Each structure stands twice: as C-alpha cells, then as structure tokens.
Amino acid sequence: MFRPIADPAECEVRSVIRFMNAKKVKPAEIHRQLLEIYGENVMSDGMVRKWVRQFNDGLTNVHDETRSGRPSVVNDGLVAKVNEKIHENRRFTIRMLFDEFPQISKTVLHEIITNCLNYRKFCSRWVPKMLTDVHKTK
C-alpha cells in the first residue's frame, strides 16, 4: 500500500498532473490517483481538468506566475512624516492625522502608528510601547 503524502506543494501536484498527462492518462484517473497519494485535501477534479487543458494548450510552467498586487502605500518617508506630526502634537486622533494625510486611509494610518512606530494609546496620549527612563520621569 502507498504511504500518503501530507501537504504537498502546489507545483508538485501540477508536475504530477503534467507527467501523467504526457503519458495520456485521463483527467479522472489522474484525480483518482492524486486522491490516493495526497489525500482528500488535494486539488478538485475540476482543477485537474483545467490544468490538463492548459498543459494540452502548451503550458509548461508548473509554478505560480507572479501577480501584480496592490503596491504598498507605507514607505519610510511616509512613516517619518507621520512620526513628525505625532511629535508636534501628542494628543492627536487618527481623524486629525487623516485630515493631514487625506491620501491615506485611516486603517493604514492606524497600522503605521501601531505596527511601524510602535505607539499605543495611553490616557489619551500616544506613547511608545517601551517606555524609557526619560519617558517614565515625565
């Protein structure tokens, strides 16, 4: 009996499909054998048929193609500008910052403040998460 392979890489499964398709194995049989070896969480029958169709049309690459995603708005210059505005007035709100940077969403501003600058709200004042001795004496 076969020993099942858990969590295969997608390109590995596609390589098996390409190999078996080259041997003229039908898509239903390819799917049945994939289920036997890789288990129930492997690709669906419809996806196997789609990949067989693509390989028959001349596709040779089994790896994911690079996609153009939404570019990140957060960069070092923007983080520095937000930090500068915070130091001008520590008693700010996200809404006040949004008025200063209308091209950036409130969610991204909050992400910059909490994740990039490591600030958190403390008694209606934004302070660094790790307080230094100077901060503690103020």
Look at residues 52, 45, 47, 13 and name the one whose alpha carbon lies nearest to residue 31.
45
Is residue 90 within 8 A of residue 56, CB to CB? The reply is: no
Tens of pLDDT, residues 1-56: 667 888 888 999 999 999 999 999 999 999 999 999 998 889 999 999 999 999 99
Tens of pLDDT, residues 71-110: 777 888 999 999 998 888 877 788 888 898 888 888 899 8
Domain ranges of the chain: 10-57, 76-116
Is residue 106 within 8 A of residue 118, CB to CB? The reply is: no
Indicate yes or no: pTM above 0.85: no
- Report the C-alpha dihedral over residues 95, 99, 103, 105, rounded to 10 degrees: 0
Q: Number of helices and strands (H, E) in the chain? A: 7, 2
Q: Which amino acid, residue 29?
A: E
Look at residues 67, 116, 124 and name the one whose alpha carbon lies nearest to residue 90.
124
| Level-2 CATH architecture, domain 10-57 | Orthogonal Bundle (1.10)
Rg for the chain, CA atoms, rounded: 27
| pLDDT at residue 74, as a whole number | 85
